[in-house]
Structure 1
Amino acid sequence: MTKKARLIYNPVSGHEQMPKNVADILDVLERVGYEASAFRTTPAKKSAQKEATRAATEGFDLIVAAGGDGTINEVVNGIAFLEERPKMAIIPAGTTNDYARALNIPRDNIGEAAEVILNNKTRKMDIGQANFAGEEQYFINIAACGSLTELTYGVPSEIKSALGYTAYLIKGAEMLPHLTENELRLTYDAGVYEGKLSMLLLGMTNSIGGFEQIMPDAQLSDGLFQLIIVKPADPVKLLRLIALALNGKHVDDPDIIYTKTRSLKIELVGKSIGQKLPVNLDGEIGDYCPVTFKNLQKRIEFYVGE
């Protein structure tokens, strides 16, 4: 029986390079035995997500997500909740491409990224699940909350390219006068932290904003999140921590909690009760605290690079 593959691509990703590469991607899929077709996403909300669900429920064997991290996240959300899930491949065409970096997918050549499928090397990957009062959302790279969270995604890609980690120090200094501390209760495998914090990160991979040292012990299919809790909002301490984190030297700092966990529950306590504290999933606002996270081990099988 012929296998079917569906390419879901964002036409405006990668400086609108995707449309001119569609035929070549479909050709690669057909060379490995798939009956291939394509879907061009629209500006409609959850366009990629809805198409991924439709393709999966109609029996497609492979879904190829082509675009930035946001497009890939949508496709994952379209299939992660299903009992029977197709394989996935990704073709990065965004700015950061954190997940492609983690899977060793070429990030600067769409054709080479597509040809990873020819190697027929796959790996079952962990997927993060966030439960907001019964509404489930999924993420593949990172969940974050706290007043310093904007630092993770708030630095324009062109500035990162030019200045590297110095760009984050500059952005951090810009944000410091506006920082607030949130009072939270965090329940995770190793215990409970209750108190003030400026940021927490719950990571699936070691690549955050293009940097690979922030979560140095990350594994891709061990069923464990990497949890980083940043306690202080003191400007001097925070700038020091930012500098340490971007070089991977923060994990033993007394102002940091760094641990692994299969689950995490976040609750507002003290003066934070009643506040709207957003939770960022793969770079976009998912919903607001409280929230419970669970690691879905080896949930989706991805094509990976060598």
Structure 2
Amino acid sequence: MKRARVIYNPTSGKEIMKQNLADILDVLERAGFETSAYATTPEPNSAVKEARRAGLAGFDLIVAAGGDGTINEVVNGIAPLEKRPKMAIIPAGTTNDYARALKVPRNNVKAAAEVILKKQTVKMDIGKTDHDYFINIAAGGHLTELTYDVPSELKSVFGYLAYLAKGAELLPRVKPIPMKLVYDEGVYEGNASMFFLGLTNSVGGFEQIAPDAKLDDGKFSLIVVKTANVFEIVHLVALMMNGGKHIKDPRLLYTKTSKLEVVPKTEDRLMINLDGEYGGDAPMTFTNLHQHIEMYANLDDIPDEAVVGMDEADRDFDIVSKEFIQEVEHLSQEDLDGDGKIADDKQSPKQ
């Protein structure tokens, strides 16, 4: 009989996994798996270690149950293995970007487990750095560094969304960073407020950041935001929310690449964000591992272009997004210098 191991975060989603674990195990048994479970602990890399152990022990399936962080840890546990088990996810976090991309139900953990009964899988690309793996995004620059100043309960994978939660007052602190980016089709060398690598089309609740992203084509979606002007950044956000029109704007570089080398051109620190958490400092190289992990997904609901629709929570978020843009557009011009950055005498110290 095939074996499955559920690795779950007992504190995610108001302990929803602990309350529904028996039902989830029953679903997996119906799917033909002899199933056991492991609750993660506060010990660093708890899920990483257990996923690696289960993979080496020959388990056929590992189910990652929790937020995107738990999924990331499980992937980091099995990605280095020569023989990797299949994976399934049960979202129990806040953003649940990966579940959104795979069209796994995000508000019912039992329904999420029942996706396995459909026996539909996709071989997913993942990203690799010098030391870690990531499942959704890698990013760097002041637009993403601001997320480290946002309280953890409000922090999301991508900087824009942190601003929506925290407020527009952070944006004037953005400044350009000189960097060199080497990608498949060329080299970008100059100032940028952010570079961003995406593996799916769902990032921090937005589904138009990389509107043509594919799950398994061996390519990252690379975005480089060249401007640090507050109002230009806000305009790019508005274009993004309006059908992903930002990708054609000259203030932004948008391309596909299987690899990216990032080299800072200044002594200033360039921190890297991997799946919403600090992942080290540049210089750093990112490689797309093509179709590296086979994931259960709701393929019936994933369109070819991998763009998903809006549910009720998304509509609420869209309202907040529009309010954010209105808030920034009303920033007093007196607080900004001629380049659209905060004036020297108005700057707040970095926390």
Does the alignment reach a TM-score above 0.5? yes
1:238 and 2:233 aligned: yes
- Which one of 283, 292, 297 corresponds to residue 299 of structure 1? 292
Among residues 256, 263, 277, which one is paired with 1:267 in the alignment? 263
The answer for the alignment partner of 1:129 in structure 2 is 128
Shift of 1:125: 0.4
After TM superposition, give the deviation of residue 79 of structure 1 in Å: 0.5
Change (3 A) 1:244 1:121: same
- Cα deviation, residue 158, structure 1: 7.7
The answer for unaligned runs of 5 or more in structure 1 is none
Determine the C-alpha separation between the residues in 2 that align with 1:215 and 1:61: 32
Q: Deviations over 1:118-157 (max 9, x none)?
A: 11111110011112xxxx2111111111000156785987
- Identical-residue share of aligned pairs (%): 61
Match of 2:9 in 1: 10
Answer 1 or 2: which has greater strand percent.
1
SS at match of 1:241: helix
Q: Deviations for 1:17-36, whole angstroms, at most 9, x for unmatched residues? A: 11111111111111111110
Q: Does structure 2 conserve the Cα–Cα contact (< 8 Å) formed by 1:140 and 1:282? A: yes
What residue number does 1:108 align with?
A: 107
Residue 207 of structure 1 is matched in structure 2 by 202
3-state SS of paired residue (2:38): strand
Equivalent residue for 2:279?
Answer: 286
Give the secondary-structure state (helix, strand or coil) at the position aligned to 1:193.
Answer: strand
1:174 equivalent in structure 2: 169
Instruction: Indicate if the aligned counterparts of 2:154 and 2:162 stay in contact, CA closer than 8 A.
Output: no
Q: Determine which of 253, 258, 267 is the counterpart of 2:254.
A: 258
Aligned AA for 1:276? R
Residue 173 of structure 1: how far off its partner (Å):
2.8
Moved beyond 6 Å, runs of 4+? 155-160
The residue number in structure 1 matching 2:91 is 92
Q: Quick one: which amino acid aligns to residue 248 of structure 2?
A: D
Tell me the CA shift for residue 177 of structure 1: 2.5
Alpha-carbon spacing, 1:167–1:128, altered in 2? closer, same or farther (3 Å): closer
* Cα offset, 1:180, TM superposition: 2.0
Q: Retained in 2: the 8 A contact 1:125–1:301? A: yes
- Cα distance in 2 for residues equivalent to 1:94 and 1:203: 20
CA distance in 2, matches of 1:169, 1:3: 45
Q: Distance in 2 between matches of 1:261 and 1:172?
A: 33
1:181-227 deviation per Cα after TM superposition (whole angstroms, max 9, x unaligned) = 11100000110000110011100000011110110010000000000
Letter in 2 for 1:52: A
Residue 246 of structure 1, CA deviation: 2.8
- The offset of 1:244, in angstroms, is 1.6
Greater Cα offset, 229-238 or 151-160: 151-160
d(CA) in 1 for partners of 2:69, 2:147: 15
CA contact (8 A) 1:96 1:157 kept: no
In the TM superposition, what whole-angstrom CA distance separates every residue of 1:217-263 from its partner, at most 9, and x where no partner exists? 10000000000000011122112112222331101111000000000
Deviations 1:103-128 (A, max 9, x none): 01000000100000111111110011
Q: What is the CA distance between 1:276 and its match in structure 2?
A: 2.3
The Cα shift of 1:176 comes to: 2.2
Deviations 1:73-98 (A, max 9, x none): 00000001111000000000000000
Does structure 2 conserve the Cα–Cα contact (< 8 Å) formed by 1:184 and 1:266? yes
Root-mean-square deviation (Å): 2.0
Residue pair 1:168, 1:242 contacting (<8 A) in 2 also: no
The residue matched to 2:142 in structure 1 has which SS?
coil
Question: Match for 1:142 among 137, 140, 157?
Answer: 137
Quick one: structure 1 residues 186 and 159, their matched pair in 2 at CA, closer, same or farther if it must change by over 3 Å? closer
String of CA shifts for 1:163-189, please: whole Å, max 9, x gaps: xx9985675732222112111000001
Q: Measure the CA separation in 1 of the matches of 2:164 and 2:278.
A: 23
Q: Distance in 2 between matches of 1:130 and 1:158?
A: 26
Q: Indicate whether 1:184 and 2:179 are aligned.
A: yes
1:82 aligns to what? 81
Unaligned runs of 5+ in 2: 301-351
Q: Which residue does the alignment assign to 2:24?
A: 25
Letter in 2 for 1:295: N
